[in-house]
Structure 1
Amino acid sequence: MNIKTEKIRKILILFVMIAVPTAIFLIRDLDNDTWFMLNHGRYILQNGLYPEFEPFTVHEGLHFTFQKWLCCVLFWVIYKYCGKLALKLFCLIVYFAFDLVMYKLLEYIRPKANTQHLFTLAVMNIFMVQFMYTRPQLFTYLFLAIEILVLEKYVKENNVKLLAVIPLLSFLEIQIHSTIWPILLIYMLPYMFDFSSLAKVCEKVKLLSQTHYKKLPIWIAFFASMLVALINPYGFESIVYLVKSLDIEELAILISEVRSPRFLSSNVLFIVITIVFCLYGLYKTKLTELRYVYFIGGTVLMAIMSTRQFSFLVIPAVMVFSYYFDLKELKSFTKNVMIIILCAFAVVPIYSAYEMQVNVQQYKIDVGDFLADYDGNPDGVKVFNVGDEGSYLEFLGFKAYNDTRAEVFSDKINNKENSLKKVILFEMEKAPYTEYIYKYDYKYIVVYNFYKKQCSAMNKDENLKKIYTNRLYNVYEIKNTK
């Protein structure tokens, strides 16, 4: 009876683990970040990698580089020849590869705990739903999991040859997602600074322990990873792109994921649970590897600072969970309750993804499709907008005022002008629309209808004709430019 019950538990957990990512990737349509990547990939294959200036918006002379060039090309080729569904399934496969490597990592840390590892990954997938999009970050998660598996195996086996994988991952990441390439180096730091000179401190504390291994090979792999990263179409500029982006003050105002997570959010819940579990595990086991303390401490701090960085906490969190706990010790009733809770929580992100698709994303696509049909020939036609729907408009051929690449519109990246401040003034309705719509010879305006003051003034403007509206947007045609 116990064996049969254990099999049923495992099947249910495995079902949740697989069902959540599958449902999310199939429900979510391509979002605006993906549309700008497809547009980029198409442009690269038609024109090459080196546009002197940004080619898709109404702005002129903005310095520009394709930060995700290889992923853009890959996504565009899949989309062009196999369609939207194939692209979504491809991203699902990449995510499942991440799950598989994570399973191998957990199995390496705590062998012969299959059901526990599946349960841990199912929980991980539920919290990772907010990052399950057709974007290059999926490759980043896979590379990070491989990197940690390699480092853990090196620590325990002292096989220096394993570390050769890490510079290769660095080379791939800088081509696929150079924007957050530095995270590969950050993940190496706990292993690099786990110095043997701290052994005496660990002995006195009697809560920390160390596995003795040679640090020099890891340092060599670290610097080799930095050197190979220079082998990219834009050289040093790709490496420092993230650092330059962090200095853009307007991003925290315009992009919610750049800000700290809301107090009452699933991310904060996960952070609190991680800290509590780690403290309990530290008390229970009496000894914890010093590198794990570094790892959790650093990534918790990152997750608190920015919602976007929360995903980088998830990997070490589930890893340390397997290090501390063995669910075999739990009673059968407790296991059953945990599985029931798991199944209940799995429904929430799936429903939320459906709601977001039906009530937000589809309206953005509807605006672009209507405008393309209405105009008939959108190539080069200028549209004023202040939302991320600009990426889809650009994919259709329009030249938009703004799109999802917020940092590109900062003078710290484009070396010319800061359009982000103007966007903020418009969104806060502190600057009238008339200061914007006649500057670039626009033909159309696409604006959120919750900008009540702006929309009210536009509705009264005899030079503007409202040609479309839906739950989120108003679309106007400008009769005569001034």
Structure 2
Amino acid sequence: MIKIPPIYGQIYERITGHKYYLLSLISLFSLIFLYYLLAWPIVGYDTDLWYHLSGGRFFWQNGAIAQDAFFSYITPPKSWYNYYWLFQVIIYKIFQWSGYYGLIVLRCVLYFLTAFVAYRFFARRSANTAQLLLGIFLFIACVTAILFRELLVRPHLFSYLFIMVFLYILEFRRDKIWLLPLLGILWSNIHGIEYPVMLAIVFAYLAEIYYLQYKKKSSPYSADGKTKWLLIAVFYTIFVTPRVIELIQTPFAVSFQNAAYQHLYVAELQNISWANIFVFAPVTLNGLISSLHNMFVLLTVLCFLISLWNRQLRVSHGILFCCGIFLLTRHARFTYEFILLSVPLLAHSIRLTTANFQLPRRIAGLALPVLLVVIPLLIFSNFFKNRPAYPLDATSLPTGIVNFLNSQAKGGRILNEPNSGGYLPWALGANFKIFMDMQMSIFSDTDFAQANNATSNANVFQHFVAKYDPSFIAVSLNRPLFKKIAARDGQYVPVCFDHKEVLYAKKTRYAEIAEQYELKIIDPFAYREIQYTEQSAEQLQLIEDEAAKIYNTDQTNYGANHILSSIYIVRRQYDQALPHAANIISYYPDMSHGYALKADALFGKGQYSQAVLLYSKALQMGQAARENNVFRNLYASYVKTKEYREAYRVLAKYVNPFDPNADYKDIYDLGMSAATVGKIREAKMFIRIAGMKTPAADQEYQQKIREGLTMLGEEAK
């Protein structure tokens, strides 16, 4: 048995027992947190950010709050109460000063402050090591649970911070309670629709104060008259808004009137499946976050029931719990509000549970760096891998369509995909109008159904065109049936496409654009499926000509670069293919095809070692389907560099010889690769299986299989 010298134990005790040990770990956690959050770009998980920027631009240009759908041609015109007007004003000014970099900093600061207040709840100074460790665990769990939501630059970033600040002041800093009315005014104007949560928090603590007063109990949670009046003043902060009546109605009007069915088509507004609350599968990062959500729900319910049974439940915590449960019954996105509202109850339960329990300091000293450094580093490094373009990731945005319209058209009405509607008014010129975006406080369920079906159903399309007569139609690449609808109608032709959408133009209104850019050869809905090696030289030239027209208008266009690079690789014009592959990598670094195309060109040039790195990157990013040929090309690259074990490892990972869909050529290569690394028995088996599946017409592979088996000392049957 190995004995650890006493000197090491003494060093360990000195380090973990130092008064700044915990502070140093928190500092390391903060550095890790800030590094990853500041290094992560603005990503278009949805396009809400850009309709907020449009609203802010409208305010600063017109000196008035946007109160109608100024970006839409929908009739009759839509008016509404802009309950997040101050958020729009703030972020537009930040963007004007510092671009997307400023928004990244804003997002990071708000998330960091929210996390800091959560830390102050869970890890208050205590000599109790069990309380400290359990609190740190829940703090890290809380920060991780809200991670994805905190990456969206939307008004809820402020709401989450305000929730935590309100709760912290009411729990621990009653001397700062005068701040709450001021924060209430900001909250009511930055994210006004969240005012019921603000009022519920204040009501919970007011009810507790009056309950203690009624029972004449002496408690640290009692309050004097000044505190009560300051809390009551928070209720009146909603009146310090532009249109208080509309604000009061908004949460109920959106949920129960004009968009009562949005839970059927908006993912974050779907109802929670209560059965899934008991599912724990933290094997992936998404599974981990989902499991943490479930843990918070179940743990909060457990703490509530135990506190109630032991008669240790505070009135305020009970009311907050009930409010959180009610929110959970509404929409899935309220899981985050539930988690934050549960923090006081959980923190209080930790203190009660661990009051008479201590952990050895050596265990605590070892566990703290694991909780505060190792686990966050693993989570963040996994979540933030494959960083997109910085400071803006355009992978989910129809940038190619926007660039084409801005350069080739003067304006017009666009029948658009609702999900990309937030981005279009922001990026397009003022003369363009869209039908709708996803602001469901403006638009109705009927509006969404009309827009969503207009590009999928011929009847809806005809009615829409007859009523609105759009100049352009921007339709998702995931709607290939639209080409039949458009062809049957005959008024619109495809003129451009990118990695997200296809743009159709009305021939009679934009005759020059239609004549010059109409796509007659390329099917934009299936351009990724073109088999370039099967095309004639004449057909390849026609495809190149159409793609080159788009490329000449926008050299960042993903689709045009993809096609041109693929054509040049088939023609073995590798030096011409490389710039187009490099464009894809530069503008869309989180999309795998650019790496695979560049690797193909380098392989053709005989630069196999560099090709290996790029093929590996493409595979790691998910381009593993056989039709993409990436794993086969990586295998071939390893063979060229004489790295036979690596070549075998690649095929063994991606080819299952017992899979009915496995290609006999892949199985044969796997068998021969096994032979090169000395796995003779395996090689014989796999080559025999390849022989079973090889068609009689393929004499070349029939011969290869016979020769392979002979080489391995076995006769072909």
TM bracket, shorter-chain basis: 0.7 to 0.9
CA contact (8 A) 1:56 1:394 kept: yes
Contact 1:68–1:177 (8 Å) recurs in 2: yes
Contact 2:72-2:434 at 8 Å conserved across structures: yes
Aligned residues of 1:33 and 1:404 also touching (Cα < 8 A)? yes
Q: Which of residues 260, 273, 288 is equivalent to 1:249? A: 260
Partner in structure 2 of residue 383 of structure 1: 414
- 290-299 vs 129-138, greater mean Cα deviation: 290-299
In structure 2, distance between residues paired with 1:278 and 1:164: 32
1:388 CA drift (Å): 2.0
What is residue 480 of structure 1 aligned with on the other side?
A: 508
Matched, 1:399 2:410: no
- Asked if 1:45 is matched to 2:76, the reply is no
Q: Residues of 2 paired with 1:260 and 1:354: CA distance?
A: 30
The CA deviation string for residues 83-129 of structure 1, in whole angstroms up to 9 with x for no partner, is 11122112211222222333334455968876665543322111111
1:270 pairs with one of 266, 274, 293: 293
Is the contact made by 1:68 and 1:176 (CA closer than 8 Å) also made in structure 2?
A: yes
Partner of residue 328, structure 2:
303
Shift of 1:349: 6.7
Shift of 1:43: 0.8
| Distance change >3 Å, CA 303–CA 51, structure 1 → 2 | closer
Contact kept, 8 Å, 1:110 with 1:323, in 2: the verdict is no
Q: Following the alignment from structure 1 to structure 2, what is the Cα–Cα distance between the partners of residues 25 and 76?
A: 19
Between 21-30 and 43-52, the greater mean CA deviation after superposition: 21-30
- Say if 1:448 and 1:472, in contact at 8 Å, map to a contact too: yes
Pair 1:446-2:474 in alignment: yes
Please tell me whether the aligned partners of residues 71 and 177 of structure 1 are also in contact (alpha carbons under 8 angstroms). Answer: yes
Shift of 1:169: 1.6
Partners in 1 of 2:323 and 2:456 — Cα distance? 35
Alignment of structure 1 residues 170-185 onto 2, 5 Å:
170-185=184-199
Q: Which moved more, 1:472-481 or 1:282-291?
A: 282-291
| Count, aligned residues | 463
Q: Give TM-score scaled by structure 2 length.
A: 0.56
Asked whether the 8 Å contact 1:136–1:176 carries over to 2, the reply is yes
Give yes or no for the alignment of 1:321 onto 2:346. yes
Q: Secondary structure at the match of 1:168?
A: helix
Q: Distance in 2 between matches of 1:38 and 1:178?
A: 17
Aligned to 2:148: 130
Shift of 1:35: 0.9
Residue identity matched to 2:169: V
Change (3 A) 1:68 1:199: closer
Q: CA deviation at 1:56?
A: 0.8
1:99 has 2:115 as partner: yes
User: What does residue range 415-426 of structure 1 map to in structure 2 within 5 Å?
Assistant: 418-426=446-454
* TM-score in terms of structure 1 length: 0.80
What do residues 419-446 of structure 1 show as CA deviations (whole Å, max 9, x unaligned)?
1332354487585433334532322212
Give 1:39 shift.
Answer: 1.0
Partner of 2:493, secondary structure, is strand
Larger RCO, structures 1/2 (Cα 8 Å, 6+ apart): 1
User: Structure 1 residue 232 and structure 2 residue 266: aligned?
Assistant: no
Q: Which residue of 1 aligns with 2:394?
A: 362
Which structure 1 residue ranges, 5 or more long, are not aligned?
204-208, 412-417
Which stretches in structure 2 are left out of the alignment for 5+ residues?
1-11, 280-286, 511-717
Q: Is the 8 A contact 1:467 1:475 kept in 2?
A: yes
Provide closer, same or farther for how the CA distance between residues 280 and 74 of structure 1 changes in structure 2, counting only shifts above 3 A.
closer
Cα RMSD, aligned residues only: 4.0
Code of the residue aligned with 2:156 in structure 1: it is: Q
Equivalent pair of 2:84/2:190 in contact (CA under 8 Å): yes
Give deviations 1:265-321, integer Å, cap 9, x for gaps.
644652344433652686599433343233234313423431221111222333333
Task: Tell me the amino acid that sits aligned with residue 389 of structure 1.
Answer: S
**Counterpart check, 1:410 vs 2:444:** yes
Q: Does 1:148 pair with 2:167?
A: yes
Instruction: Give runs of aligned pairs for residues 57-72 of structure 1, distance below 5 A.
Output: 57-60=72-75, 61-72=77-88
| Counterpart AA for 1:98 | T
Helix, strand or coil: the match of 2:415? strand
